[in-house]
Every structure is written in C-alpha cells, then in structure tokens.
Structure 1
Amino acid sequence: MTETLTTGFETVTNKAGKAFTAVVDTVSPTVELPKEGILLASLEPTDFDYGSLEATRPQDLAQERSTGRGLIDAPPLTDYLNKVLGRVAEQAPAQNVPARVYVKDSLEINAGAMPSGAIVVPMGLLRVIATEDELAFLLGHEFSHVMKRHHASDWYLKAQKYSLAGMELGFDVAKSFRHRFAGKAENQLDDLMLANEASLLLSETLLSPAWTRSQEDEADVLGLDLMYTAGYDYRAAFTLVDKLGEAEKQLVAEQKQPGERVLDYLESRVDETSPSRHIDPTKWQSLVEGVAKQTWTWVNRQFTRNHRTHEERRTFLNEYADAEGRYVTAIKPRQPVPWSAQGRKAPPRAVTSADAAAIRAAFDNYEIARRAEEALDKRDAKGALALATKASRAPIEHATYPRIIVYDAQLALGKREAGTQALRPALASSEPALIVYMRMLDTPIAKRDWSEAQRLVDQARETIGDPPQLLPLRVYLLVKQDNKVEAMALSSECRLEHPEGIGALCAQALEGRDWQPRERIATRS
C-alpha cells in the first residue's frame, strides 16, 4: 500500500457565512490488490505481542467510559459479538491478536478499533445490522485495522492529538456552563440543555479514530476476505454499506441543526460563561471559540474528509469480489440469518435460542429508553420516568442509558434522592461510566457530605482509570476537607498536564467556590 498524505487546516463556512478552521487530511492512496486470489492470502504470518497490547487496553477503555454514556453491560450481546469476531479472526494469518468487542451506549453508527485491540461498536450501529453476515463484515473490517497496525500511522496519531484536545475543550467549557446555569429559573432551561448537548456532541464524536482512505480500503478488502473464508455470504457487505450510507445521511440531517445551535450558543455565551473573574477574558474567549471550531468541524466532517462515498465504497468492493477467480467457491443462495430485534424468525448461528431472546430483549429495552429520552425532551417527566423504569430491566438492568433518564426525570420532579437510588445499580455494572459517578456526586455535594463525595471519587478513579475530568473536583474536595497543601499540589499538576480547559477549572476549584449540583432541572450530558 502506498499513499501521499498531507495534514493541514482548511476553512469551512456555515449557513450564516461564518468561517471556521477545520483539521482535514488530503490523501492520494492506492491499495495494491493481487491480480488473482485474495489479499488475505498474500499476508505474511505474524505473531502479535499479546501482553504488551493487552496492557494498554485499560487506558483505551477508560477513554470510552469517560465520554458520553460509556459502554453497555449486556453479557448475552457482547458474548455473541465476540463469538462472531472469533470466527472471523481465526481466518487471519496473525496470531495472538488481542481483539475483543465492546458495545458503546450511543446512537452513533461508526464503530472504532483501538490500539489495544478493543473494538467498540455503538448500539446505534447494531440497530442497523440485520444479519450475522453483515455483522461478520463489520467485525472483519475493524479487526483488520488492528491486524495491520493502522494505529501506528502518523496520521492516526495526529488525528488523535486533535481529537483529544477537542474532547477536553468541549468537556470543560460545557461543564462550566452547567455549573453557571444550574439552579437558575426555568426559563434558563434551554441554556442548560444546550450546554449539555455541546458536551455530549463533542465527547462522543471527536474521540473516534480517523483512518486514511488507503487504510479504509485495505480494511474493507481484508474484512471481505475474512468473512468469506469464515463461511459467510460476502454479499452482505454490500447490503451493509448501502444501509450505512442511508443511516449516515439521516443522522447527519438530524444532527446538523443541533450542531449549528450549539455553535451559535457557544459564541453568544463567551462573556457570561467565564468560569472565574481571575481568568483572562481573552483567554476564555479563545477557549470557547476553539470549542466552536471543533463543533463545526464535526458537523462538516462528512464534507471535508477525503474518503470514499458509500456509493464509491460499494463499487470498489463489488469490483474486487467480482474479479475472475477471486472467490472461487460458489455460495448457494439462502435467506439471511437474522440476529437482532429487527429479525425474529430464527436465532443467530453463533448463539443459543435463549441468548438470542436475551439479545432481542436488550434491543427492546434500549428502544424503550430512547422513547423515554424523547418524552423527557418534551418536558414529560412522568412519562419519561415510567418508560425509563420499564427499560431498566434485564438484560440491561445495569446499563447507564435508562438509569440516567430515570435520574433526570426524578430530578425534574423534585425527587433527587429517588433519582440517586435509581442510579446505584449502574455502579454495579461491569462497564461503569463516569457520567453515573458525576450524577451520584450531586447529592453528597449538596449535603456538604465531603467524605461520601470523596468515597465516590475514589471509586470512580479505581473503576474507570483515573479520568482527567475528575481533577477539578478532586482539588475542590481537598479544599473542602482542609487539605489545602495537597489541593495546591494537585492543582499545579493539573494545570501543568492540562494547560487549557481542565487546568483553568482546577484553578477555579482551588478557590473552594461552591460546586453547584443540579436542582429540579432535567439535564443530560
């Protein structure tokens, strides 16, 4: 594979004619395909250092658990996904690749492969997939990124640098907005909701890997080869690409308007959202503008990246598969085997009937939670509470999504204690999310119960992996517990490691100003 890569900045313009800077890549790639046979057969056998890669997984998973709603604890579903991955991975010449599938609690449709071999598939994407054959192509594609060590490329490392910076800015600015507006009059609700929307939008989308076009092409071809040699119908790859094209168009159409609203909101709140009178207003304005640019970069991502369109991707795969002598074994026509809630006539091939029923129940509950979220958006707190409570049952009884909605609905009804109790099962999840701990911390902070707040922070650090988002709160709690020396040391360390957003919040926390919990207002971040 050869490619010419240029990384730089490009100016994009929104509907209002405002120009912003976006990080883009310009790539002229080629993938060297064999004239005969399959690309997979041309790969040399390799042996991965399983231990060294596995050792980096906690850091990868900590990032996922610290953004958005984290990962989903649903063993029947994740077990099934990993069985399919195992079938596909067995066909690869690479040995000891530490690949494992995790399910992300998000409606996104873009999966991601981490350097440690963790493959993160969002629930939104799984809702699009209807057959095990389509799933095999998806997992084969992501596995190929790991097998070919695409994470070692210069472009991936540069993209991650920009993404992490954007995520930090988004979290910190929106976090300051939440504290500024928490407890205000009901007519300030839109401000608070938009602040949370900015945080979720940034933290969920800017962290995903950015591959070059050649890397995507190579992963597509190898994914096709892997699913074919594992016995799956390679034509399912074409149907999945078609579905993703339609789903992405719909998602962009639905989320472009919120993205633009968030951008306008950030720009209009530069002066009144400065977190501290001691912070230079010019620096704060630069910080907010940085988040605005990152937001707009995400909104325009579909239009600035130099990747194949879905139509081009399908044509590329079809031409490869149809080459004479490429796939010599005829595939007998048959009905696709359904696996998810979208197909209930037969259980999937890699699981038992009982597990298939549990998987369908997980999708059903997730759909109920989505309806609960819509009800909460419409200010129907009682309706949202009823639906979210129904969704908080097996096999996703520990999942973050429905329980966060229960908490927010109870908060809107003035019942914070009941909401806190509803969150507790989420702490027992095998996939704890930072957002749960942040919600749980509202109660002890409101009661000025610093020891209980400290206990929750310590538990979050131990289970998630010491996320940097907790640094300002750690400084604040040290001040409140009269550990001023330790607070000053931690604040200095925080500002050294995070000179922009989080560092500014650590400086604010050192002042010991009240950390305002949510009051009566249903918010989601």
Structure 2
Amino acid sequence: MQVPGIPSLGKAKVDPNLTQIAANFKGPAAGRNAVATQTLQSIQLQNKALGVAQDGKIDAYLNAILARLQAGLPGTPPPARVYATPNTEFNARSFEDGGIFIPYKVLDALESEDELASLIAHEYAHVALQHYHSDWIDTAANLAYSAGNIYINRQLKTSTDKDLLGMVLTNDAVLGASQIGLVPALTRDQENEADQLGVDLLIRARYSIVGAITFLSRMEEWEARNQAILDQRKTNYFDLFSKSEQSVIAKAIDAQIDVLENKLAKQIHSTSQKHDKGEDRSKTLRSYIKQHYAGVDRPPLSVAPYTAALKSSHAKAFFTGLDQAHASTAALAQKNLPQALSNATGATKSPAALVPFARHVMINAMAVNGKSADALAMLESDVGTNSALFVDNVFLINILKKSSPEKALTLAQHSYERYADSPELLPDLILLSKQQKNPFAVMKYYGVCAGKAMASSNNALLESCNKAKG
C-alpha cells in the first residue's frame, strides 16, 4: 500500500518577537471587509455530507462578526463567508476558498459574542494565512468512505440492495461517515498560528481576549463528545449487517480507514498533525497574550448581542427543528417508522423547514411510511433545483436506474460535475454509459476511475468500475 507524501510546508516560522499580524500583514488596519456571497467549492464539499443550515437572521449575524474581524487587516482582506451547519459535533472548519462552517450545536453552546468571534477569527486566520496547501488528506478520506459506500450499495447481495428501508439506512450511514472526510489536515504549528492571529484580529476588532481563553477552555469537554460522535458514525456502517457480512465489509472499509489512521500515523506524528488539546492550546495562547498584549484592555464580554441573535425564540425554534431532524434519523435507525415521520414533520414545520438536511430526513421518512409518491416528488423537486444533498442525488439515481436509465445517466453526469471528488458515481457513469451504447464515455469514465483508484490504492473503487465496465 502506497500513501502520498505530506507536502512541504515551505514557510518560515514567524519571529517570536512579532505578532502574527505584524509578521504577515504589513500596514495599518484598512477598515474593509470582504464577506463573500458564496464559497462554491466548500459548499459543494459540505453538501457531500450534511450540508448547511441556512437562516437569514443567523447568517447575517455570523457574517457581521466576520466583517468586523476582517476590518482589522490592511488592504482588502481575503474573501470569506460563515455558514451554520446541521452537524451535531462540537467543532468548526474552514476551507481554502473562505468557507467557514460552524455546527448549530456550537452556536447554541457559547455564552458571548466574544467567544463566537474568537472561533470565527481562528477559522478565518487559517484562510488569511493560506494554511490549506496540506489538505490532500481530504481527498484520501473521501475516497476511503466512497469505497465503503460502493461496497455496501453495489457488492452486497442482501436485502439492503432491495429493501427501501435498508437503502435509506445505508445512505444515512454513508452521509454521516462522509462528514468525517471533510476535516482539513492542519499541523499543530498552523493551529497555533491561527490561535494567535485570531487574537490579533479580536483585539483590533475591540473584542475581549477573555473570549478566546474561555472558548479554548471548552475544548477538552468537546473533544470527548466529538470522538464519541465520530466513532458512532463509523459503527453505523456495521450495525446494518449481520456479523458474517461485517467481516467482509471490514475488508473494504476498515482497510481504507487503516490507510488514514494507521499507515499514515508516523507521517502525521512527524508533522504534529494532531491538534493540541484545549488545555495545551490555552497555555500556548496565554503565553502569546502575555508577551504581546499584557497591557491591553479587557472589556466585558459582549453577552447581549449574542443572546439577542442566538438565544432568541426564532433561533431556539430553528435549532429545535434541526434537533427533530436528527431525532427522525435516530428513529429510523431503530426502525420506529411512525416516530421518524413525526419528528421529520416537526422539523419541516419549524424555521429549519428549508434546510436540505431537514428535507432529506422528510424524504426518507415519507418513503418508508407508505408515502413514496410524495417522497419522490420532493426528491425530484430538490434535486432539480440543486438544493438537495449529494446523497439525495445518489438516491434518485438509484431510483431512476430501472425506470429511466437515460435520466439516471443525465443526473449522474450533472452530479459528478457539480460535486467535487465523487468517485462513488464512477461505476454508475460507466454502467449507464454502457447501457446507452456510448463506448467513448465508458472509456473516459473508466480512465478517471482507474486513475483515482491507483492514486489512493482504492481497490474497492477499481473493482466496482471493472464490474461496471464488464
């Protein structure tokens, strides 16, 4: 098994006598902002998992904080945009194009705007410092979970291939696992740099640095919660199948996970790729503050604006709707179909009704509760307007394969072009092109598949493409 080499960071460390902002951004604060209307690439990636949780009021509040932070940079700041997501884990992430994604559970768990500004400043600092040249591991993770998806959906000859509930449960397991593959790979030094530049931006924006320390103090508790969530997402694959089947699936899935978690361990350790624990990061940041900002004012934490925006009745109802969507998924996993529909209906009657994840949950719940016509109508509507999650595109492709293979091929082509790094679609593209008697398309997609499979040592992907090609 060959693994890709970690790219050279290629950047000298900042002089410890300088702040991050002084070392990397010359000149006085320009008072400008560059809040992007959309960050297409990262939105496509996030839509391959749980998507975003858009809400006009919450979005406006988050991006007003970003604009205030951006104003502390000289010149025109790098464009970015903050999004809430329906994720339940306690973390945040950003991407090279400026997309910053914060789970709704985090937004509801903080206590001041200063804490929230600290989190946004940290993620925006990664963007401003151009930390994302080492994000090759994202693609490797995507391919790993694609291998599991392909294996479960196409190679197992069990009721999962025929039973609608089995298909829905499988797709949800894939959906949750896909979220794991979207965590950018950052070194410990990069995390520290982002903490430090984040503080620089906080102070320039006249936020309290106490917010940064308070936020980091939460991380130790959050880390344990997150690990439990990630572990559950992995095991959700296996809970769908009998023990005899699990050993076979493990060869396709865990062998790929091993590439990330075991075979790369030495290389990851050598670059300090794992995040410091919250306590260690807090100590490092305190030293930075003591060195550069010992005499800076520490205004009171700004609680009122945070409370007005994220503890309002509207925000509470929005977050409750997302909770109901997750409760529907949990009820489905327990095969409590009426409860799944009841929870999904509650989500679609809340302010979260238009969130793609909530609609995805409603489609699933209707499909398994004898409302397949309504489910199909909603699915086709969402996919047709490009508002559906990637997994819903895959669901519709699977439905159309028998009833309308030509439409299935058109949708598969559209989905492959729209959603970045989607190798799980390649076997379908090959098979459907073959059925449409288009040998040139068959060879094109097979060549892409072989290249991706060899680059990532993804045997499950190559086997599926070989089978589709015939």
- One fold, TM greater than 0.5? yes
Paired residue for 1:139, among 120, 123, 135? Answer: 120
Deviating more after overlay: 453-462 vs 373-382: 453-462
Map 1:358-373 → 2, pairs under 5 A: 358-373=314-329
Residue 44 of structure 1: SS of its match in structure 2?
Answer: coil
Task: Supply the AA of the counterpart residue of 2:279.
Answer: E
Compute the displacement of 1:258 (Å).
5.7
How far apart, CA to CA, are the structure 2 residues paired with 1:309 and 1:243?
10
Cα 1:263–1:409 shift into 2, 3 Å: closer
Q: Which runs of 5+ in 2 are unaligned?
A: 30-35
Distance 2:193 2:349 in 1: 41
Q: Using the TM superposition, give the Cα deviation of residue 431 of structure 1 relative to its aligned residue in structure 2, in angstroms.
A: 5.2
Q: Determine the structure 2 residue equivalent to 1:392.
A: 348
Q: Which structure has greater helix proportion? A: 2
Give how far 1:310 is off: 1.0
Corresponding position: 1:456 with 2:394? no
Partner residue of 1:337? 304
Note closer, same or farther for the CA distance 1:508–1:387 as it changes in structure 2 (3 Å cut).
same
Residues 497 and 316 of structure 1, relative CA distance in 2, 3 Å threshold: same
Partner of 1:490: 444
Alignment of 1:292-307 (within 5 A): 292-294=257-259, 306-307=274-275
CA 1:192–1:46 in structure 2 vs 1: closer, same or farther (change >3 Å)? farther
- CA-CA distance at 1:254 after TM superposition: 4.9
Range 431-440 or range 135-144, more displaced:
431-440
Q: Deviation at 1:70? A: 2.5
Aligned match for 2:468, one of 492, 509, 514:
509
Give yes or no for the alignment of 1:442 onto 2:417: no
Q: 2:429 aligns with which of 471, 474, 479?
A: 474
- After the TM superposition, which of the residue ranges 421-430 and 198-207 deviates more from structure 2? 421-430
- Partner of 1:120, secondary structure, is strand
Q: Amino acid of the residue matched to residue 169 of structure 1?
A: A
* Structure 1 residue 204 corresponds to structure 2 residue 176: no
- 8 Å contact from structure 2 (residues 20, 196) kept in 1: yes
Q: In the alignment, does 2:314 pair up with 1:347? A: no
Does structure 1 conserve the Cα–Cα contact (< 8 Å) formed by 2:146 and 2:423? Answer: no
Give the 3-state SS of the residue equivalent to 2:428 in structure 1. Answer: helix
Give the structure with the larger strand fraction: 1
Alpha-carbon distance between aligned partners in 2 of 1:203 and 1:365, rounded to the nearest angstrom: 22
SS in 1 for 2:206: coil
Checking the alignment, whether the CA contact within 8 Å between 1:371 and 1:387 is kept in structure 2 is yes
Q: 2:222 aligns with which of 247, 257, 277?
A: 247
* 1:376 equivalent in alignment to 2:340: no
Distance in 2, matches of 1:218 and 1:491, equals 41
Q: Secondary structure at the match of 1:498?
A: helix
Secondary structure of 2:425 counterpart: helix
The 1:222/1:207 distance shift into structure 2, 3 A limit, reads same
What amino acid does structure 1 have at the position aligned with 2:255? G
Could you tell me whether the CA contact under 8 Å between 2:72 and 2:201 is conserved in 1?
Answer: yes
Q: For the residues of structure 2 that align with 1:338 and 1:297, how far apart are their CA atoms?
A: 45
Moved more, 193-202 or 237-246: 193-202
Q: Find 2:137's aligned residue among 137, 162, 165.
A: 162
Deviation at 1:23, TM superposition (A): 10
Distance (Å, rounded) in 1 between the aligned partners of 2:329 and 2:173 = 17
Residue 164 of structure 1: CA displacement?
Answer: 1.4
1:62-82 CA-partner distances (Å, limit 9, x unpaired): 3332x2223333333223211
Does the 8 A contact of 2:209 with 2:298 survive in 1?
no
Q: 1:200 to 1:120 in 2, by over 3 A?
A: same
Superposition pairs of residues 90-105 of structure 1, within 5 angstroms: 90-93=71-74, 95-105=76-86
Conserved 8 A contact 1:182-1:192: no
Aligned residues: 449
1:133-282 mapped onto 2 (5 Å cutoff): 133-152=114-133, 156=134, 160-181=135-156, 184=159, 199-200=174-175, 202-256=177-231, 259=234, 269=245
Residue 256 of structure 2 corresponds to residue 291 of structure 1: yes
Cα distance change, pair 262–420 in 1 and its aligned pair in 2 (3 A): closer
Deviations 1:34-89 (A, max 9, x none): 38xx5434542499xxxxxx9x9544433332x22233333332232111111111
Deviation at 1:366, TM superposition (A): 0.8
Identify which of 284, 298, 305 aligns with 1:316. 284
Write out aligned runs for 1:64-103 (5 A).
64-65=46-47, 67-93=48-74, 95-103=76-84
Q: In structure 1, what is the Cα distance between the partners aligned to 2:292 and 2:407?
A: 68
CA distance in 1, matches of 2:168, 2:415: 25
| Identity rate, percent | 22
1:136 CA drift (Å): 0.6
Q: Counterparts of 2:88 and 2:391 in 1: how far apart (Å)?
A: 17
The alignment partner of 2:146 has SS state of helix
Contact 2:125 2:198 in 1 (8 A): yes
Asked if 2 retains the 8 angstrom alpha-carbon contact of 1:167 and 1:202, the reply is no
Secondary structure, aligned partner of 1:69: coil
The one of 99, 112, 116 aligned to 2:93: 112
What SS does structure 2 have at the residue aligned with 1:347? helix
Equivalent position of 2:17 in the other structure:
34
CA distance in 2, matches of 1:64, 1:257: 20
Distance 1:472 1:185, change over 3 A: closer
TM-score computed with the length of structure 2 as normaliser: 0.79
C-alpha distance in structure 1 between counterparts of 2:340 and 2:438, whole Å: 43
C-alpha distance after superposition, 1:265-301 (max 9, x if no partner): 899648856xxxxxxxxxx95x545324157559x99
Structure 1: gaps (5+ residues):
1-8, 10-20, 48-53, 274-283, 340-345, 512-525
RMSD of aligned Cα (Å)? 4.3
Provide the TM-score with structure 1 as the length reference. Answer: 0.72
Q: Kindly provide the CA deviation profile for residues 373-417 of structure 1, in whole angstroms up to 9, marking residues without a partner as x.
A: 222222211111111122124643332222222222233334432
